[in-house]
Amino acid sequence: MRGIDSNETDFLPPDVAFRVAARIDGNVVKVRWVIADGYYLYRQKIEVRAESPDLVLSAPSLPPGTVKTDPYLGTQQVYFQQVEGLVPYSRIDAGAHPMQIKVTYQGCAEAGLCYPPITKVVFPTVGSPAVVTSVPPPRWESIAIIAGACAFLLAGLVLRKGRKLELPA
């Protein structure tokens, strides 16, 4: 129970369940979603639009998904684990402005809950591997441990400096 007890069926924040990134490869923007285990994205709910005014995007090309049949929503294609969409582009001002795209996607957890459509502005990177916009956090716990360890060593050095070796008479 939230607030007083933990429970067995937790769910991820949307930016953790579905991480999106984009990179420029030639005249194509590659938009990639990394999907957490037990979660999925609906193929037909994925949209990619130009956000910067000089940018013209073609319709995204998406691979076939896994067919999922629901008694109410019918047969739909969904993606598990990850998916990459290819979006051909052209630019009116030859790249004078940073490229920005707006991506919309919607997904659910197989545990039986769904997220409302998510819209994000993404800055595609050039040439390098896609960087997930929801940057995985640094391991601050590690920093805490290292800081503590360094302080401990420093303290040891301070103590050692004033200590003299006492030999038996």
List of residues contacting other proteins (CB under 8 A): 1-14, 16, 19, 36-37, 70-73, 106, 108-109, 111-116, 134, 136-138, 140-141, 143-152, 154-156, 158-159, 161-162
Whole-number minimum distance, CB 19 to other proteins, in Å?
7
Q: How far is the CB of 66 from other proteins (least distance, A)?
A: 15
**Minimum CB distance to other proteins, residue 126 (Å):** 24
Place of tokens 């929801």: 134
Q: Using the minimum distance from each CB to other proteins, give the nearer residue, 131 or 143.
A: 143
Question: Could you tell me the maximum CA-CA distance found in the chain, to the nearest angstrom?
Answer: 92
Q: Sheet containing 47-50: which strands, arranged edge to edge? A: 47-50, 101-105, 118-122
| Joined tokens for residue 52 | 């910067």
Select 56 or 143, whichever has its Cβ closest to other proteins.
Answer: 143
**Distance between CA atoms of residues 136 and 16, nearest Å:** 9
- The Cβ of residue 34 has, within 10 Å, a number of other Cβ atoms equal to 17
